[in-house]
Amino acid sequence: MEYDSPSEEEVHSSSEALHEHYSFTADPGQSPLRIDKFLMARIENATRNKIQQAAKAGSIFVGDNPVKSNYKIKGGEQVKVLFAHPPYENLLVPEPIKLEFVFEDEELVVVNKPAGLVVHPGHGNYSGTLLNGLLHHFKEMPKNSNDRPGLVHRIDKDTSGLLVVAKTETTMTHLAKQFFDKTSERKYIALVWGDFDEDSGTYTGAIGRHPKNRLQMAVFEDNSQGKEAVTHYKVLERFGYVTLLECQLETGRTHQIRAHMKHFGHPLFNDARYGGDAVIKGTSFSKYRQFVENCFSLLPRQALHAKTLGFTHPKLGTFMQFDSELPDDFVELIDKWRNYAQHKNL
């Protein structure tokens, strides 16, 4: 299922408010079968957990009635999955969104994404995304395995920086293989809590969905609960209670830098989802706390920027590297901490 199930607040107020995502009719000879198992066998990429969550939210219907996940479907009954938001394919509409193209040719485009812009439509973000803007500029783009046109990789909504988008099927396949084979280059700038004993190092640990908080990713000791993840870091500047890092991805898991840094005791500065939006290091003096709060206000998101992107051009065969400047508010944040570290005037 492409979408996370809606919250109870998003569940319909009337049948007219719902959009049909899936519809199935059980074969006449169907013996009684739990509806979650019935749907798992018919919806690509569906998990039992997601189906059960959808049922709990009142989104699975037999006839006109919502049913629980343990409902046993019988022959001839019609099953529908309805959500308050339109199906994903209906969200793929062109929108005139201003985008910054760093490079473009017939094969691909490199975009410098601002913080706050969601990459593709999904749960809670049904329009105004980078992908809606790309469809306005390029009418035809190849779809990836998740039916998302042009996308080879993505970065979080509140992370700024570079990503490459494919304009042809061949280019998408070529670039996807580079990311899979770890031959692409991706470097990020991050401001994290705490100091480091070494000037450089590597964090490893499989990353998978957090068992209790489904909005977070967690780090596990082996690959049984997640996928291998490797993050190399280098200290760029030390400010005492926070440190400026360059992070190079060897793998590209969801929230990889954010999860690794949190797990090893260095949450990203002002990363609310991973606990970085509190005074983790430093004194309890009111002037220092006010300074940190002012820093949070200056950069109201996690301090992470996708600065460098490199890959081999699928058609030219040459390695191309792109670099992006830090956003102004990120630069101001660094300057503020640098001034604090130099003068200790708080």
Q: What is the pLDDT of residue 17?
A: 58
Q: What is the pLDDT of residue 86?
A: 67
Class for the domain spanning 89-181: alpha beta
> What pLDDT, in 10s, does the model give residues 36-92?
999 988 887 678 888 888 888 888 999 888 999 899 999 999 999 887 666 666 678
User: CATH for 8-85, among 3.10.290.10, 2.40.10.10, 3.90.1150.10, 3.90.226.10?
Assistant: 3.10.290.10
Q: What is the pLDDT of residue 125?
A: 73
C-beta of residue 321 within 8 angstroms of C-beta of residue 308: yes
C-beta of residue 263 within 8 angstroms of C-beta of residue 219: yes
Q: What is the pLDDT of residue 334?
A: 98
Burial 184-198 (b: 16+ CB within 10 A, else e): bbbbbbbbbbeebee
Report domain extents, the chain: 8-85, 89-181, 184-346
- Of the CA atoms within 13 Å of residue 150, those in its CB half-sphere come to 26
List the catalytic residues.
156
Domains 89-181 and 184-346 share a fold: yes
Query: Tokens 């503020």 label which residue?
Result: 336
Q: Would strands 160-166 and 304-312 be described as parallel, antiparallel, or unpaired?
A: parallel
**Local structure of 138: helix, strand or coil:** coil
Give the sign of the dihedral formed by CA 210, CA 330, CA 100, CA 307. Answer: negative
**Local structure of 261: helix, strand or coil:** helix
Q: What is the pLDDT of residue 168?
A: 95
Q: Would strands 230-238 and 242-249 be described as parallel, antiparallel, or unpaired?
A: antiparallel
Query: Tokens 């019609």 label which residue?
Result: 78
Q: Which secondary-structure segment (H or E) carries 336?
A: helix 328-343
Q: Is the pTM of this model over 0.85?
A: no
User: CATH for 184-346, among 3.30.2350.10, 3.40.50.300, 3.30.70.100, 3.40.50.2300?
Assistant: 3.30.2350.10
- Using 50 as the pLDDT threshold, list the residues of the chain that sit under it: 1-16, 346
